[in-house]
A and B are shown apart, each in its own frame.
Chain A
């Protein structure tokens, strides 16, 4: 449904935002692009939605090349943008109606879909009010309803929960999750919230500095760090502590540090032995062992270079 091959974007300023990425998203899958701010996630969505011209490579959405067949690619897709993209003076219903008309939905079909979406997304009390009076969460729900009214085959969600309070964020994730379970809808979601990625996505690509540094299911990405890892809170020089652990064979190349925390995948060693070495070397103020999370995968891949440099 989405095919991306060596997609690149270099802006006129010389910034290389995306540096040759490849991925496929099959029909019905929820695919996540996970990365820090500036990693190239929004640029990738911009290229797939034809608002950013690729500098190289190819991308197909719903079988349509985004450069050669942009209208067809846009016809089968919808976007929920990171920022508010609404006409504040118009009502919610007018937004849904406008989207349906622009996407060529028959008026009789549109009326039914608008009614269904308004009910499903809890918009009944808001829908005839100007959007300027909506809260952030209400606006997000409206934007989701708007994107779905044309029954897209591909839905792009660009950081859909950014700026929302935790309760509204969880409610919205439930709604997206429910729509993501529809077999006919393919979703590409960008986020820098790891829990969101783990909760929503069938597969994840971790993007860093314009390159995909890992791509797999959330479980497989976690499994790459083994079953257990050691976490050290270091008072002094964390880089020196990591070097000492490497010298003693406790830490391998996959160990990494973020700030004053050193994280060491145990790769089959027992935590008791490793903690004993740490205590002997007096390296840490606190030591604990735990199973790896997606945070660890993300931090190793996007912050791991700091450890390598150390």
Chain B
């Protein structure tokens, strides 16, 4: 049973990977803006605002919060390409459970996002940005990246399932990927915003994701405290991880439901 699931899943993931590597746009475009932010804009802001070196590290993690939604949204675009010009109908006629079609794409999107984050972090470190990561910190960081990324892919699949054309999908990307990034404490702590927006930001999964990532890679629990207002940092990290995990679970389940319903007329 397990082999019957894993074998087609591996086949579907391999197909998606082969298509992705033949489309450099999908690999490079999502990486451009975050790298620009981490390596050019963050040092410029540091100089202009007279902040210290830790601000560059703060923004470097903040740009991971831009990279994940952008990359996942671009991956969602390939679902529309599959449907409109690709082999989706052949896959739907295959004797495999249709949720595997979603999961096969998700695995590749997550792997490529992971690779891009590694490139971003490595570039930031090479630029002189210092991270304070312990083993457990890296695990918190990875858990935040994976759960938030999986949830964002679910959102991208749902959007791709409901939007008929690529143009309409692309028009919605800023609202889904970029607007929350400005509100989630990417470039400044959420407490710096008006009270209502700061309260609103606590409901964004990205706010929890970024707070966890900073806790993990910088050892800075300020973001978690701004959300939860507690003293036990591990408990706060666990709660934020719960939020991003729930986000991933709900959005993945919803995306599978939307895909299977939209695939069968």
A residues adjacent to B (C-beta < 8 A): 11, 46, 49-53, 71-72, 74-75, 77-79, 81, 84-90, 94-95, 98-99, 101-104, 146
Docked CA distance A95–B11 (Å): 11
Do the beta carbons of B263 and A85 come within 8 Å of each other?
A: no
Residue of B nearest to A98 (CB): B15
13 pairs, A vs B, C-beta closer than 8 Å: A50-B92, A51-B89, A51-B264, A52-B265, A53-B265, A71-B95, A72-B95, A79-B89, A85-B86, A85-B90, A90-B18, A102-B95, A104-B7
Contacts of B8 in A (CB 8 A): 101-102
Docked CA distance A104–B6 (Å): 12
Docked CA distance A190–B265 (Å): 19
Contacts of B92 in A (CB 8 A): 50-51
Docked CA distance A301–B94 (Å): 36
What's the least CB distance linking A133 to chain B, in Å?
13
Q: Is B22 an interface residue (CB 8 A)?
A: yes
Q: Is B135 an interface residue (CB 8 A)?
A: no
Q: Is B195 an interface residue (CB 8 A)?
A: no
Do the beta carbons of B265 and A81 come within 8 Å of each other?
A: no
Q: Is B119 an interface residue (CB 8 A)?
A: no
Do the beta carbons of B93 and A87 come within 8 Å of each other?
A: no
Do the beta carbons of B7 and A101 come within 8 Å of each other?
A: yes
Docked CA distance A104–B8 (Å): 8
Do the beta carbons of A86 and B91 come within 8 Å of each other?
A: no
Residue of B nearest to A46 (CB): B265
Residue of A nearest to B91 (CB): A102
What's the least CB distance linking A155 to chain B, in Å?
11
Given A74-B95, A75-B95, A90-B18, check contact A98 B89 (CB 8 Å): no
* Docked complex: B241-255 residues within 8 A CB-CB of A: none
Q: Is the interface of B mostly helix, strand, loop or mixed?
A: helix
B residues adjacent to A (C-beta < 8 A): 7-8, 11-12, 15, 18-19, 22-23, 82, 85-97, 263-265
Contacts of A81 in B (CB 8 A): 89-90
Docked CA distance A52–B19 (Å): 27
Contacts of A75 in B (CB 8 A): 95
Do the beta carbons of A101 and B264 come within 8 Å of each other?
A: no
Given A87-B15, A101-B8, check contact A74 B94 (CB 8 Å): yes
Contacts of A90 in B (CB 8 A): 15, 18-19, 22
Do the beta carbons of A85 and B87 come within 8 Å of each other?
A: yes
Do the beta carbons of A52 and B264 come within 8 Å of each other?
A: yes
Docked CA distance A146–B19 (Å): 18
Do the beta carbons of B95 and A104 come within 8 Å of each other?
A: yes
Do the beta carbons of B11 and A102 come within 8 Å of each other?
A: yes
Do the beta carbons of B89 and A85 come within 8 Å of each other?
A: yes
Do the beta carbons of A103 and B18 come within 8 Å of each other?
A: no
What's the least CB distance linking A52 to chain B, in Å?
5
What's the least CB distance linking A10 to chain B, in Å?
11
Docked CA distance A146–B12 (Å): 16
Docked CA distance A101–B6 (Å): 12
Docked CA distance A100–B97 (Å): 16
Docked CA distance A90–B23 (Å): 11
Given A89-B23, A98-B11, A102-B8, check contact A51 B87 (CB 8 Å): no
Residue of B nearest to A100 (CB): B11
What's the least CB distance linking A281 to chain B, in Å?
52
For the A-B complex with A85-B86, A89-B23, A94-B18 known, give 17 more contacts whose Cβ atoms are closer than 8 Å.
A50-B92, A52-B265, A53-B264, A53-B265, A75-B95, A77-B93, A78-B93, A81-B90, A85-B88, A87-B19, A89-B18, A90-B15, A90-B19, A99-B94, A103-B95, A104-B95, A146-B90
